[in-house]
Amino acid sequence: MIGTSSDSHGMSQAIAYLKEALRTWKGVKSPEAVFVAACKEGRKPKFAQVQSAVNDWFEWARRKRIVIAISGEVVYTLEGEVVELAQMMRQYPLQE
C-alpha cells in the first residue's frame, strides 16, 4: 500500500527525532525502540516543536493583524516596521 503524504511527513519527523536522540542523548541502547516510539506517538524533534510554536504564533498574530509577514527571525508589522520575532512573541503572547 502506498503511504499518504502525512505518513511520509510523520516518518520524516520520526527520523529527525531519532537523529536528535542519537546526537543529544547519552547512550541510546535501542535506536529501533526510539524510532518505533517516535512513529507510534508522533514525537517530533525539539526543533520541529519550536517551529510549530512559531508557526502557531505567526498565524494567530496574522489573523489579529499584528504582523503581515515573517522572514527568518524577523516579522513585519502593518506599518512596514521590521521587528525581531522573539521580541514580538514576548510583546504579544499567543492568546487563543
Taking only the tens place, the pLDDT of each residue in 8-24 is 666 777 777 777 777 77
Which residues does 19 contact at the CB level (< 8 Å), separation at least 6?
45
Where the chain has pLDDT below 50, the residues are 1-5
**Helix, strand or coil, per DSSP, at residue 22:** helix
As a whole number of Å, the CA-based R_g of the chain is: 18
The percent helix, strand, coil of the chain (3-state, each to 5) is 60, 10, 30
Q: Cβ–Cβ contacts within 10 Å for residue 52, how many?
A: 11
Model pTM?
0.51
Q: Residue 11's pLDDT is what?
A: 73
